[in-house]
Amino acid sequence: MYRLKPEIFNLNYTLDCGQVFRWERDGDWWTGVVGDQVIRVSQDNGELLIDSKLLPEFFSLYFRFDDNLPSICKSIDRDLLINRAIRKYRGLRLIRQDPWECLISYMLSTASSIPMIQKRITLLSQLFGQELEEGYFSFPDPETLANADLSMLDECKLGFRNERIKDAAVEVSSGDLDLDVLFRLEYKYARDRLMRIRGIGEKVADCVLLFAYGKLEAFPVDTHIRQVIQHYHIDDNFFEDCASLSKMGDWGRGYFGPYCGYAQQYLYYQKRVEGFAPLY
């Protein structure tokens, strides 16, 4: 157990905002599985209390303390709506997730609520992962899922995503898809590559690129973001630029700029917590 004092950081917002599915809150403490580690973290007066054998350097990477948050928030601060979000949820940071786990997690997210996504990931880990400590399981390897029986995958309530998860696992474990290569690809090429996988469209690809690969110019357009854009129609050229979901993504990139991924996450969290609160 040790302490860490990050610059501008809010643990609750960061873990609760819906970007990551492997953390659960119990009072002041969060417990999460990251890789093969069960980690417990809480925050008191800005200071992190960390119960883990992992070093501070790990958490600096994981919680992206290297992101200059004031600078980023200043650059995306384009209107009243985002301005309210970045002030109210100050300290929310994106997370550097594991690409493989993030890829499967967001393939499981389609047309599902967050609790349902968490349930599927928990079941997958319980059935195919390693038990790290009482009740906590690692996320299964690509090889394990590639060799899994569809009937066993079925027990994880994957529904129509079943075969696609297995196919993706086969692609990764066979080396056909090299997840490390995507780090070095420019955003749009990495995105095109991900979208060649069955079950990955623009939205899921953007989530993986944003939450695992640190492509901050990704702007995932899900049902909440779509509703926010339609409700507030914050841009003058709204009707021309945002006719379809695909165009909403392009619009977000152009409107908020190279850090639009952060803008997306602030807007998403604000919408989930507050709904369509009026702007004054």
Partner DNA sequence: AGCCAGGCGGTCA
Partner DNA sequence: TGACCGCATGGC
Binding piece for DNA, criterion CB under 7 A, among 47-55, 144-152, 195-203, 251-259: 195-203
As to burial, measured by CB atoms within 10 angstroms (0-12 exposed, 13-18 middle, 19+ buried), residue 118 is middle
x/- string (CB under 7 A) for DNA, residues 59-88?
------------------------------
Taking CB under 7 A as the rule, does residue 113 contact DNA? yes
Taking CB under 7 A as the rule, does residue 244 contact DNA? yes
Q: What is the DSSP letter of 108?
A: T
Taking CB under 7 A as the rule, does residue 200 contact DNA? yes
43, β-bridge pairs: 48
- Closest CB 261 distance from DNA, rounded Å: 9
Taking CB under 7 A as the rule, does residue 5 contact DNA? no
Taking CB under 7 A as the rule, does residue 115 contact DNA? yes
Q: What is the DSSP string of 214-228?
A: --TT-----HHHHHH
Taking CB under 7 A as the rule, does residue 42 contact DNA? no
Taking CB under 7 A as the rule, does residue 17 contact DNA? yes
198: Cβ contacts below 8 Å, ≥ 6 apart: 164, 167, 168
23, β-bridge pairs: 32
User: Hey, how many other C-beta atoms are within 10 angstroms of the C-beta on 186?
Assistant: 10
- Closest CB 64 distance from DNA, rounded Å: 14
19, 43, 97, 270: which one contacts DNA (CB under 7 A)?
Answer: 19
Helices (H), the chain: 11-16, 56-62, 69-76, 80-88, 99-107, 114-128, 142-146, 150-154, 162-173, 187-195, 202-211, 223-232, 238-241, 245-256, 260-274
Taking CB under 7 A as the rule, does residue 215 contact DNA? no
Q: What is the DSSP letter of 95?
A: -
x/- string (CB under 7 A) for DNA, residues 138-167?
----------------x--x-xx-------
50, β-bridge pairs: 2, 41
Taking CB under 7 A as the rule, does residue 202 contact DNA? yes
Task: Indicate if the alpha-carbon torsion angle 163, 199, 113, 139 is positive or negative.
Answer: positive
- Closest CB 21 distance from DNA, rounded Å: 8
Taking CB under 7 A as the rule, does residue 268 contact DNA? yes
Site for DNA in 246-265 (CB under 7 A): 247, 264-265
- Closest CB 47 distance from DNA, rounded Å: 26
222, 229, 248, 262: which one contacts DNA (CB under 7 A)?
Answer: 222
Do the beta carbons of residue 217 and residue 260 sit within 8 Å?
Answer: yes
The nearer residue to DNA, 142 or 220, going by C-beta atoms, is: 220
220, 255, 260, 263: which one contacts DNA (CB under 7 A)?
Answer: 220
As to burial, measured by CB atoms within 10 angstroms (0-12 exposed, 13-18 middle, 19+ buried), residue 162 is middle
Number of residues near DNA (by CB under 7 A) = 41
Nearest by Cα to 203 from 185, 186, 224, 183: 224
Chain residues in the site for DNA (CB under 7 A): 17-19, 109-117, 119, 154, 157, 159-160, 195, 197-205, 207, 220, 222-225, 227, 243-244, 247, 264-265, 268, 272
